[in-house]
Amino acid sequence: MRRLLPFFLAACGTRNHLPPITPPMGIPELTCGLGHWNLLWFTGDLISSAPNEMWTIDREGYVVLFDAFGLDHLPGPVHGTEAHTFRYTSQDRGQQIEATGALLLPDGRPPAEGWPVMLLTHSFAGSAGPCAPSAGRLEEGIEPALMAMYGYAVIAPDYIGLDGTARPPAPHSPQNAEQTAIGVWDAWRAGVELMSDELLVPITDDVVLWGASQGGHAALLAERYQSKYARNADLKAVVAGTPPMDVRATMNSILSEWSDGSPLAVPTIMGWSLWYEDALSHRDLLVPALADAMDAYLADRPEDCGIEIDEPDHVVEAWFTPEAIAAASTDDWSALPGWDCVLDAHSLHTNPVQDTGDTTPTLTIWGEFDTIVDPSVQREAFEALCTDGADPRWLGCEGADHAEANLWSLPETLAFLQDARNGELEAGTCAWGEFVRCEATPEE
């Protein structure tokens, strides 16, 4: 019934926000030796939903939280929030699956045109099903809560493989372009259906993307796939905070020399290995003890998000194989089957899904002292986008680390999104810039 409803309502002159059917077109599968699959047409349907009490908080409650956590340097709370979790259909490697997400709405009276819609891609939450932000983990809900508090109807997918209510039907593969982008746009369809059909929430017809860290990479790749997989989405703007947009350069950096980002290579390597099955092996890159520990953790389908392992010393030789360190040090992955292809397939500027020429206004945010995603490692990829005709804006927060950059730049983020939605953005300069004091930087 859902697929026919928009046509009946349109015929009657009734406004409806349900996205019409747009079959995927021209999406090259990121197989890297795995094989071929065809993407399905009909995913993104809402299956079920439920209220979420944890993030249903009034404005006064947020004022208390801001005071308790010392967040008075950020823009103050504007709204309280009403939260829901939902389950929807998606697909993974051409097979229909189910996935989960959260919807956070501002309370109070909406604007005359309805609440603006944000599709929010979250930062790294973990590798197993219970790590899903919608499963009720307080710390993982802060990103969508902030944006709903500032007046957006926020659709926040958990990512495929992170399942808020059941055993995940597919492995979670962080920094996986296809899996992430498809799950994100299916969540958008289901979230709009939830607001339009069940909650009767007035919303605008457009959407913006916001994500930080892993979510920054996800937002950039979701924008890339939008013209192929969600062509009916009126995408107005993208904000990607501290994004590892160049996956290849990132892996070269954190596998060849120890940094705070090196441990995060482990779930990324495991996710790719599980997703690519026999075409790729995590044991090529992880030392045996660590590979065994990760195998055991994920095979047990854990009931909580924590993993208990004897953490190796903080040197790359204790985590990664000599072959992996050599490949990363020389950027020559040819001796490790499949990995050369994977690193290019999931980097933004070498991903085979390329822009159609209709570039979405994009703001990228960087932290001067980010030791997880080193901005200097991402510069070549950023400048490659400029050469290819894209127009990503650059904002670097002086003195900020990985997380601080995304918080301290909130005023600039909100202004950029508002100007983009209103068609009031000034012409950008696609150039790597200098770090400046971002507006919400705390006073010393």
Contact 74, 66 (CB under 8 A): yes
Quick check: is 444 in a domain? no
- Nearest 5°: the CA angle 279, 285, 291 is 90
- Considering the domain architecture, whether residues 369 and 386 belong to the same structural domain is answered as yes
Q: Could you tell me the pTM of the whole model?
A: 0.92
Quick check: is 442 in a domain? no
Which residues share a beta bridge with 364?
Answer: 240, 394
pLDDT level of residue 359 (50, 70, 90 thresholds) = confident
The 3-state DSSP class for residue 379 equals helix
- Considering the domain architecture, whether residues 66 and 193 belong to the same structural domain is answered as yes
- Considering the domain architecture, whether residues 176 and 208 belong to the same structural domain is answered as yes
- Considering the domain architecture, whether residues 264 and 233 belong to the same structural domain is answered as no
CATH code of the domain covering residue 117: 3.40.50.1820
Contact 385, 360 (CB under 8 A): no
- Considering the domain architecture, whether residues 72 and 190 belong to the same structural domain is answered as yes
Cα 72 from chain centre: 27
- Considering the domain architecture, whether residues 191 and 223 belong to the same structural domain is answered as yes
- Considering the domain architecture, whether residues 161 and 218 belong to the same structural domain is answered as yes
Residue-wise pLDDT for 166-215, tens only, equals 666 778 888 888 899 999 999 999 999 999 999 999 999 999 999 999 99
Which residues share a beta bridge with 98?
Answer: 89
Tell me the residue range of the domain where 225 lies: 5-29+42-246+348-436
Strand 362-367 to 392-397 pairing: parallel
Which of 292, 310, 345 is where one domain is finished? 345
Q: How many Cβ atoms from other residues are within 10 Å of residue 133's Cβ? A: 29
- Considering the domain architecture, whether residues 327 and 392 belong to the same structural domain is answered as no
Which of 325, 345, 365 is where one domain is finished? 345
Stretch among 161-175, 265-279, 422-436 having the lowest mean pLDDT: 161-175
Quick check: is 37 in a domain? no
- Domain count along the chain: 2
Cα 162 from chain centre: 13
- Considering the domain architecture, whether residues 294 and 256 belong to the same structural domain is answered as yes
- Considering the domain architecture, whether residues 242 and 253 belong to the same structural domain is answered as no
Which of 283, 318, 345 is where one domain is finished? 345
Token pair, residue 77, equals 């709370």
Residue-wise pLDDT for 278-304, tens only, equals 889 999 999 999 999 888 887 766 667
